[in-house]
Amino acid sequence: MNEMYYPPLTVEVTVEDAGKDVRKVLERRLGVSRKLLSQVKLTEHGLTVNEQRVYTTAKVAAGDVIRLRMEREESDDILPQPMPLDIVYEDEHLLIVNKPAGMIVHPTHGHYTGTLANGVVHHWREKGEKVRFRPIHRLDEETSGLVAIAKTGYVHQQLSEQLQAGQVTKLYRAYVYGVPAQLEGVVNEPIDRDKEQPHLRVVTPDGYPSVTKYEVIDSFEGAGGKCAASVKLKLETGRTHQIRVHMKHIGSPLIGDKMYGPGESGEAAWEAAVGRQALHAETLGFTHPMTKTRMEWVAALPPELEELERLLRGGLEKEQQ
């Protein structure tokens, strides 16, 4: 049985919970969702009280021991593929990876290999772990930085709820054209698909609520006299392309952004240096669902963004002198 299931989630029934049904106790004590319970109760050893299989409506008494066991799953539809991974943190419950730019998180139509999922599934196979790939959030292909991946359905559910409740810290670093008029502010503008070009997003009154906090941490006079800035951003919501759309909306599009950038009017040297949109998911923090400890990780700027900053500080002009 141990090979088929993850280590159980265990709850000892207190006097306060005596007389309640199993579902209510697990919801109150562990925050287990009804969806997860409905999946677990179908397996032979998924839900037990004192090691006896029960229904979620079974009543419990003080001192009873409830155990919730989730079956081990694998992502059989994802091809394992060896690749270097920058693993920032890993335990038996979750994995934090620093994703490079140019890599898609999950296989999509036309991209079945070369994704982060392919590399992570191979990593787990090599370790002998039977785990399903469950990312908590995703990054655009051309955005680098931290991605959290849950190893169990329960951890995924708990972190997804933290994300929805705004309890997950996600800080980004971006390099943008121009310097925002206000050096610190909040962009609170709804976003939705562009009706003319559905693959793009735009600020529109009929869009979904979208909030981005930003702070200019440095400004530059680059080659050719063009101004640029290094900006720290915090997402309060998680819309597709949110940072890119919001920064364009306030007149400071991301350097290297082929979809929302200034196009041919951009500084060629800067665009060439970064080779992609200058956006990096720098900091990620949340409460660990199992240990209840607040944890935070930071990913250093990748070499191409360090090179971009060097150019913005005048390195190119110095070389040309």
Give catalytic residue positions. Answer: 140
Q: Give the count of beta carbons closer than 10 Å to the beta carbon of residue 153.
A: 20
Calpha distance 207→289 (Å, rounded): 32
Q: Cα 7 from chain centroid?
A: 25
Q: How many residues does the chain have?
A: 321
Asked if 203 contacts 190 with a C-beta cutoff of 8 angstroms, the reply is yes
Q: State the amino acid at position 69 in one-letter form.
A: R
Closest by Cα among 57, 80, 87, 173 to 128: 80
Alpha-carbon dihedral angle through residues 199, 108, 282, 202, given to the nearest 10 degrees: 10
Give the closest residue to 137 by CA, choosing from 226, 49, 250, 237: 237
